[in-house]
Amino acid sequence: MTTEANNKPVAPKFEWDFDVPDTPFWQQLEFTVVRNFLTCYGPEEVENLHLDAALAVPDRLQYLLSQLSSDLSAREAAAAPQQLHVADPDVWRRFMLGIETLQKSLGLLVEEAQTIHKMLSTAEGNARVPWLNMLADLDLRRGDFVEAETVSREVLPWMQTHEKLGVDSPQAFGTTRIIIAAAWKQGGSKQDEARQLIQETFALIDGMGDSRFAKYQKEERQLLQELKAKLEAGK
């Protein structure tokens, strides 16, 4: 780990980290919404967007979704006769991720499901895994707890063994929380399984101090505490 001039350790920056612009329009928007939208554009393209900070948050989200959808259609037309996911898979993936994130934030479950299944129909191999994780999260929000648990349990080992991730990565913890919630909401012995997994996950978080993901320890502990409290309250 590198250090600054004052010899304090500098937390590593990972490829999913992102510096949110300190401008009014982006305030009150979730980090993932901002990151997954802005990574679709270059700096000059962002400067040319009409970002009205006077809009209410839902209207900002709808504006961003409309912008992404329109620009994706333009890129698809430019790539014709090739399909965009073949001609430029990175651009395709970024735009579809941005669209899915905004659909989730707006509560557009049907449209979100369509986006996820469209990606799963075009992605191959390991590229499918993040979208399967999104599908598990969507299943959880739709109340399909058995399917959410099944899919997320398939995804988790891949995350835990991936060289860029691991058992104490934010991604693995996020999938674990889906498993916990989905199992808990099934009731009976499944709720006991969820309680056990909560304890095991707290133990993993407690051991993050010397991990490369140590900077996320406080956030991960808080997220799990909040989930536990929510489940115990019957929510």
Span 139-197, pLDDT tens digits: 999 999 999 999 999 999 999 999 999 999 999 999 999 999 999 999 999 999 999 99
Q: Are residues 54 and 99 in the same domain?
A: yes
Domain closes at, from 123, 151, 184? 123
Tell me which residue range forms the domain holding 78: 23-123
How would you label 47-60 residue by residue, b for 16+ Cβ within 10 Å and e otherwise?
eeeebeeeeeeeeb
Q: Are residues 109 and 176 in the same domain?
A: no
Q: What one-character DSSP code corresponds to residue 169?
A: S
Domain closes at, from 123, 156, 182? 123
Q: State the pLDDT at residue 131.
A: 96
How many structural domains compose the chain?
2
Q: State the pLDDT at residue 16.
A: 76
Q: Are residues 27 and 61 in the same domain?
A: yes
Contact yes or no for 39/62 (Cβ under 8 A): no
Q: State the pLDDT at residue 7.
A: 53
Q: State the pLDDT at residue 1.
A: 46
Q: State the pLDDT at residue 184.
A: 98
Residue 135 lies in a domain: yes
Tokens representing 96 are 């579809």
* pLDDT < 50: residue spans in the chain: 1-5
How far is the C-alpha of 225 from the C-alpha of 43, rounded, in Å? 38
Tokens 């909560």 correspond to 198
How far is the C-alpha of 140 from the C-alpha of 186, rounded, in Å? 11
How far is the C-alpha of 216 from the C-alpha of 58, rounded, in Å? 29
